[in-house]
Chain A
Amino acid sequence: MKIINLHLNNDLLLSLVCKKDRRAQEQLYQLFAPKMLSVCRYYLKSLPKAEEAMLNGFLKVFQNIESFKNEGSFEGWIRQIMVRECLSMIRIQAKLQLFSDEKQPFDIQKVEPHDALEYDYYQSLIDALPDGYRVVFVLYCIEGYKHQEIAKILNIKIGTSKSQLNRARQMLQTQIKKDNHSNYVVTKI
């Protein structure tokens, strides 16, 4: 049985993964899965769905590992695949309504600000956003994409991306005020 050191450097690990070494693949998965599941969770409201997207994403990572050219960070490359997988899943579910200006009910999850962990609270706020708003908000504020890039990824106009972000912010502000959570009050939009 081949034993792989847990602290193997990334290059060696990658070269083994490229050779379809199952143990190396598992190690890579163990290394990045928790983070990537968290990334998928930004976009998909349910954890099983996020897990499914992550699984598909890893499948693509392992199948196309040769196309990674060591030009950027490996984590960034995996992350990009995960984001695209999540977006694809959202599209398949036909829930993405980026072109609709119709306001959707702000249905926040059952996470109370005072007894939740801070990031759970934030996740619940993001989950409560409509799909289109949520995707643009996460891509812009968390992933750090620019409007031009978002427009390209989602195949929408730059103006649409901006307006979606604006609406997402408004909804978040409203909700936080409603929660009256002093720690997270937004004072200025």
Chain B
Amino acid sequence: MSLQKFEQRIKMQLESRKIQPQEETWKTLESYLNKSKRINSKRQYLAVAAMFVVVLGLVWFVSQDTQLVPAVGIDAAFESTPINEGKIDLKNVVASIDSKGLDNIVPNKEEMNIVKSSLFVDNTIKTNDVEEPLAKVILNEDIFKKDSKIILVNETTIETTSIPILFQNQITEAELVSPEISDDDLDALLNPYRDKIRNYNQDRLAVADRAARLLKEAEFENNQSFRKQIIDGFVTGIKSVHTAYVNRKN
């Protein structure tokens, strides 16, 4: 018999053989299968629980984001210069509102109403037929972008840049009526504005201080809140993992 034939014979003989396993083998296999099924379902539950925690965390995080920091309305005079020049760009904000509309700038109805009521209060002083929006929205842009939290400051008096123009106009009008203007006339003309300027300066300093303080507080609160959210998220995650691990171990 050649080697090839011998090997073929071995193959044929061995391939024709069947060995019946013990009866308990299936039971053992069945128990393994049950165990693996239990482990799989346990994993599924854990996965669902983990997803639930994540979704809950996300919902909470998002809801935190849209919460409104109580708007601060300051009924006092305010200059056109931003309180915090590094962070507030009033022109941009007004331009954004003009181009995109309030609804796209302010995320929720409550905030929108506040802004609307502030912006469109008719407390303007007409100077050279130019109507200035007197209600100023003071926004911390960083906060606005992150959390849509805003601070509003209402301006109810005149612009500093408007005073000289207004004054100049009145002098011109007076000169037209009477070409010779006495010092007394000028004093009489100036006095109401002197008072206004004095009051205005006093008010604006007070308002600036107050607004700066409020901004700082809001920033601090915002930072704290954000940090807390992150830390809480981590803690919740770690707790979930720990619980899953302990469950698995058990």
Contacts and interface: CB of A to CB of B under 8 A. Distances in A.
Interface of A: 20, 22, 25-26, 29-30, 33-35, 37-38, 41-42, 47, 50-51, 54-55, 58-59, 62-63, 118-119, 122-123, 125-126, 141-142, 169, 173, 184-189
Contacts of B28: 55
B1 A54 contact: no
A39 to B, nearest CB: 9
Contact of A141 (B10, B18, B22): B10
Given A20-B37, A59-B32, A185-B1, A54 B13 contact: no
A161 to B, nearest CB: 16
B63 interface: no
Given A38-B14, A141-B11, A186 B19 contact: no
B6 A184 contact: yes
B3 interface: yes
B184 interface: no
Contacts of B14: 38, 42, 119, 122-123, 126, 142
Interface string B6-17: 110111011111
B13 A122 contact: yes
* Residue among A25, A37, A185 with max Cβ neighbours from chain B (10 Å): A37
7 contacts: A25-B33, A47-B19, A54-B21, A59-B36, A118-B13, A119-B17, A188-B2
Given A34-B18, A186-B1, A188-B2, 5 more contacts: A33-B20, A34-B19, A34-B20, A142-B10, A142-B11
Q: For the side of the interface on B, what is the size category?
A: 20 to 34
Nearest to A119: B13
Contacts of A173: 3
B16 A119 contact: yes
A38 B26 contact: no
Contacts of A188: 2-3
A38 B36 contact: no
Select the residue from B1, B22, B37 with max chain A CB neighbours within 10 A: B1
B3, B14, B18, most chain A CB atoms within 10 A: B14
B25 interface: yes
Given A38-B17, A42-B14, A142-B14, A62 B3 contact: no
Contact of A63 (B2, B9, B36): B36
B30 interface: yes
B3 A22 contact: no
